[in-house]
Copies of this chain bind each other. A is one copy, B any other.
Amino acid sequence: MKNKRKTTIKDIANVLNITPSAVSRALHNHPRISDKTKIAVKKVAKDLDYQPNHLASALRSGKSKLVGIIVAKTNSYFFSSVVENIEYELNKKGYNLIITQSNESFDKECRNIDALLQTQVDGIIASLANETVNFDHYNKIKEKGIPLILFDRGENDIGVDYVGIDDYQSSNIVVNHLVEQGCKRIAHIAGYSHTRIYKNRIRGYKDALKKHGLPEEEELLLEGSLSIEDGRAKMTELLKLSILPDAVYAAGDYAALGALQVLQEHNIKVPEQIALVGFSNEPFTSLVSPSISSIYQHNKEIGKLVAKQFLLRVNDKNYKPVLHKTILEPELIIRDSSRKLKS
């Protein structure tokens, strides 16, 4: 049985009769160390299977090489693929991710932030919970002086870097598409308007209607949590209208799915009688029948951009008050649920 003790920088120093500081510098390619000793140090390090102690270096340097992530649910294709790409990019630079879930709860989000700050993360990347309307906790992050990047669910009020798609434009694209398919009475199952992205989708929806000369009717715009159940409830409500809509645009795929279920239960043909469009391009949209048209948010791209932005910030010693808001163009994936015209 070998000795359990891990080899440290000191052990290497002893072997070569130099000091630990020289070893440390050699391993970091410090210019003041000769190439000869650098090579020697690295060889011994390899021979002794030296593994740097992150905790020690973190303590001394103040950098933990850990990045905190906060999302609503990892269990969503959008979030998990964004995170996957962040992880890929940041791993390359030696960072590890601590992933936490807020479960859409403001309280849990606060606790997560505290936990992450305690773990001395070098930065935090987050997408806000639906409940979140108070940003004191995020200011705590800024006060700590570590970078904070928001994506998808962001907020303009706290001056902070952001990466997401153009929600206003998304609605525009959806409405354009539906009008093109001949729809004239387009309903919108919306998210709560206190969340910025949903507010923008609503604005985009309204403006697009106006642009096409369609009247904006109260009864066709319903706010909710966008869960499956919510989608079902909202669709049921819409079916009670004296004049039915000929299209439904849901601000979330799960809500769209709920709506689809209700439509099918009422034997309403999709898209012939009512066309349907969702949002986020969750995988199931292409699996159900009819497949659901949806807005693709460039998940991979968002992940990469967030990572890039984080690296920029974390390497930026002199605090630059320049904000970076990166807005991507959304893309509508047209599927059967909204394809009335056979092209």
Q: Are A80 and B91 in contact (CB under 8 A)?
A: no
**A115 nearest in chain B by CB position:** B96
Q: Is A217 an interface residue (CB 8 A)?
A: no
Q: Are B53 and A56 in contact (CB under 8 A)?
A: no
Copies of this chain assembled into the complex: 2
Report chain B residues within 8 Å CB of A117: 51
Q: Given the complex of chains A and B, what is the CA–CA distance between A56 and B60 in angstroms? A: 9
- Bitwise interface map of A from 226 to 270 toward B, beta carbon under 8 Å scored 1, else 0: 001000000000000000000000000000010001001000000
Q: Is A83 an interface residue (CB 8 A)?
A: yes
Q: Given the complex of chains A and B, what is the CA–CA distance between A47 and B333 in angstroms? A: 55
> Smallest Cβ distance from A292 to chain B, in angstroms?
11
Report chain B residues within 8 Å CB of A96: 98, 100, 115-116, 119
Q: Are B101 and A98 in contact (CB under 8 A)?
A: no
Choose one: B51, B99, B289; the contact of A97 (CB below 8 Å).
Answer: B99
Q: Are B288 and A287 in contact (CB under 8 A)?
A: yes
> Smallest Cβ distance from A57 to chain B, in angstroms?
9
> Smallest Cβ distance from A99 to chain B, in angstroms?
4
> Smallest Cβ distance from A249 to chain B, in angstroms?
20
Q: Are A98 and B100 in contact (CB under 8 A)?
A: no
Q: Is A137 an interface residue (CB 8 A)?
A: no
Report chain B residues within 8 Å CB of A145: 4
Of the candidate stretches A8-16, A70-78, A124-132, A323-331, the one touching chain B is A70-78
Report chain B residues within 8 Å CB of A76: 75
Q: Is A46 an interface residue (CB 8 A)?
A: no
Contacting residues of chain A (122-163) with chain B, CB-CB under 8 angstroms: 145
Q: In the complex, which of the residues A53, A58, A84, A261 has the most CB atoms of chain B within 10 Å of its own CB atom?
A: A58
Q: Given the complex of chains A and B, what is the CA–CA distance between A97 and B100 in angstroms? A: 8
- Bitwise interface map of A from 270 to 285 toward B, beta carbon under 8 Å scored 1, else 0: 0000000000000010
Report chain B residues within 8 Å CB of A98: 66, 96-99
Report chain B residues within 8 Å CB of A289: 264, 288-289
Q: Given the complex of chains A and B, what is the CA–CA distance between A96 and B55 in angstroms? A: 15
Q: In the complex, which of the residues A74, A118, A145 has the most CB atoms of chain B within 10 Å of its own CB atom?
A: A74
A257-B287, A284-B287 given. 15 additional CB < 8 A pairs? A4-B145, A53-B59, A54-B118, A54-B120, A59-B59, A66-B98, A66-B119, A73-B80, A74-B99, A87-B100, A96-B116, A99-B99, A264-B289, A284-B284, A288-B289
